[in-house]
Amino acid sequence: MRVSTSHMHNTGVQNMTGQQSEINESHNQLSSGKRVLRPSDDPSSAARILDLERTVSSVERFNRNNDMARNRLSMSENAMEQVGNNLQRIRELTVQAANDSQDPQTRGYIASEIKERYEQLLQLSNSRDGNGEYLFAGAKTKTRPFSMEPGGQVEYHGDQNSRQVRVGPGRQIGVDNSGFEAFMKVPNGNGKFQAYESRENNGSGVINVVDQSVHRIDPQYGEYRLQFVEDDYGDMRYMVERRHDQNNPEGWELVQPPAGPDGQPPAVDQLPEYAPGSTIEVEEGVRVQVDGSPEQGDTFTVSTSRPQSIFETVHELIGALEEDGEGPHFRNAVNRALGDVDLALENVINIRSQIGARLSTLDSERASNEAALVDLQETISTEEDLDYAEATGRFNKQLSGLEAAQATFGRVQNLSLFNYI
C-alpha cells in the first residue's frame, strides 16, 4: 500500500495535537485538583456534585440565618437582663422607702431615682438591633413599640407575633420578642389574686397577700370584700362577703360567718374577732394577712389578678411615694408594689429562659449544620477531587508519548524519494 507524504504529515500532526489536548486536560486537572472539570468529563458524577453543592448552599444559608437569629436573641437577652437589674434596684429602693427611718425628703430622693429607672425601662423596651429594627415590637420591627402618653402611662404599639427563620432542615425559630409578653402582660397580686384597701379607710390596717399561688378565686364570684366592724366592747371583728352578681354593685352575700336561716348576717358579737397579723381565709386556699388597727367600716377587697404592665407598677409606686409617703395607704401601696415587682422579676426570668432555650436550639442546629457540611464536603471531594498519584503518572506517560511522537514525526518528514536522487 502506498502512503503519500501529505497523508503521513497530516496523520502525525493529528496525533500530536490529540496528545497535546490530553496533556492539557491532565495539566488542568493537576492545576485545579479536580477530576471533573465539566459535565462531559463524568455526567453522573457531575449531576451528583451539582445536587450536593445545592445542599451545601442551603446549609450555609441556614447558618447565616442562625447568625442573624443569634444576634437578635442575644441582644434581646442582654436587654432583658438590664430590665431585671433595674427592677431589682427598684425593689431595693422600695424596701428602703418603707423603712420607718425615712422622712418625706428622703422618700422624695428615692422617688427621683425610681423615676430614672422608669425612664431606663422605657428605653430598654425600645431597644434596637444593629439594623435599627426594634427587638420588642413583635413582628412589627419597624414600629416603635412603646410610647409614654401625657398622663405618664405607657402604650404598646407592636404586635404579639414573631418572624420565623429557617435554621435547619425542618427547623424554624422565632427571632422577635413580643413586648406585650415581656412588659405588659404581668399578673399583679400573687399571680392568682390581689388585695387592696378602700381609699376611704380611716384605720391603720395594712393587707398582705399570703402566697398560696396554687389557689384561684372562684371565677363565678371574682371578688371578695373583707369588712371590719366594732362590737359593743370596742373590739374589732370582721366578716367576708363575695359578689354573687357581677352586674349589681350591691350584689354581695355573706361568706364568713354564714348568714342565718333568715338570710340576715349574725349579730356583731358572733363575727370572727380580729387579731393583728392574723391570717384570714376568704375562700378555700385564698388567704390574706391584715396588720395594724382597722377601724369601723374599713374594707379590703380581694379579687382575681389582672395583667398589669411593668410601667404601671412602677408608675403607681412613684405616685404613692410622692402623694403619701407614710400612713396605711402608703404601706398598702408599698406592699402591692413589692408583690408586683417580684412578679415582674419572675416574668423577666421567664422571658430570659425562653430566649435562652431558643439560643440553645440555635447552638444545636449550628452543630448539626456544621457536621452536615463536613459530610457533604467529604462526599463532594470523593466525587470531584483528583487522584494525584494516578494523574501524575498519566501526565508523565502522556508527555513521554508526545515527545516520542515529535521525534518520529521529524524523522518521518525526512523520508522522501528526492533524498535518493
pLDDT of residue 199: 82
Taking alpha carbons only, the member of 238, 226, 192 closest to residue 300 is 226
Taking alpha carbons only, the member of 284, 5, 328 closest to residue 196 is 328
pLDDT of residue 125: 96
Please indicate, yes or no, whether residues 152 and 221 belong to a single structural domain of this protein. Answer: no
Unique residue bearing C-alpha cell 391603720: 204
Please indicate, yes or no, whether residues 111 and 147 belong to a single structural domain of this protein. Answer: yes
With beta carbons less than 8 A apart as the criterion, state whether 154 and 311 touch.
yes
Please indicate, yes or no, whether residues 198 and 175 belong to a single structural domain of this protein. Answer: no
Please indicate, yes or no, whether residues 110 and 139 belong to a single structural domain of this protein. Answer: yes
Domain housing 356: 52-186+342-372
Of 286, 305, 324, the position where a domain reaches its end is 305
Average pLDDT over residues 219-240: 83
Number of domains present in the structure of the chain:
2
Q: What is the pLDDT of residues 319-349, one digit of tens each?
A: 888 876 677 888 888 888 888 999 999 999 9
Please provide the average confidence, as pLDDT, over all residues in the chain.
81
**Stated pTM of the model:** 0.75
pLDDT of residue 417: 56
Residues 6+ apart with CB under 8 A from 108: 321, 322, 325
Q: What is the pLDDT of residues 57-77, one digit of tens each?
A: 899 999 999 999 999 999 999
Kindly compute the dihedral angle of the four CA atoms of residues 333, 338, 340, 341, in this order, to the nearest 10 degrees. 130
Q: Does residue 263 lie in a domain region?
A: yes
C-alpha cell at 368: 448539626
Taking alpha carbons only, the member of 177, 81, 68, 179 closest to residue 131 is 68
**CA–CA separation, 37 and 21 (whole Å):** 14
Please indicate, yes or no, whether residues 163 and 259 belong to a single structural domain of this protein. Answer: no
Q: Does residue 70 lie in a domain region?
A: yes
Please indicate, yes or no, whether residues 204 and 134 belong to a single structural domain of this protein. Answer: no
Please indicate, yes or no, whether residues 127 and 200 belong to a single structural domain of this protein. Answer: no
Please indicate, yes or no, whether residues 220 and 164 belong to a single structural domain of this protein. Answer: no
Residue 419 pLDDT level (bands cut at 50, 70, 90):
low
Q: Does residue 152 lie in a domain region?
A: yes
C-alpha cell at 43: 455526567
Q: Does residue 180 lie in a domain region?
A: yes
Please indicate, yes or no, whether residues 147 and 194 belong to a single structural domain of this protein. Answer: no
Please indicate, yes or no, whether residues 57 and 179 belong to a single structural domain of this protein. Answer: yes
pLDDT of residue 413: 62
Q: What is the pLDDT of residues 15-60, one digit of tens each?
A: 656 555 655 665 555 555 565 555 555 666 667 767 877 888 899 9
DSSP 8-class letter at 138: T
Q: Does residue 177 lie in a domain region?
A: yes
Residue 254 pLDDT level (bands cut at 50, 70, 90):
confident
Of 256, 279, 305, the position where a domain reaches its end is 305
Q: Does residue 285 lie in a domain region?
A: yes
Residue 100 pLDDT level (bands cut at 50, 70, 90):
confident
Please state the separation of Cα 307 from the chain's center in Å.
20
Q: Does residue 323 lie in a domain region?
A: no
Please indicate, yes or no, whether residues 56 and 182 belong to a single structural domain of this protein. Answer: yes
Please indicate, yes or no, whether residues 173 and 208 belong to a single structural domain of this protein. Answer: no
CATH code for the domain of 103: 1.20.1330.10
- Is the predicted pLDDT of residue 305 greater than 80, yes or no? no
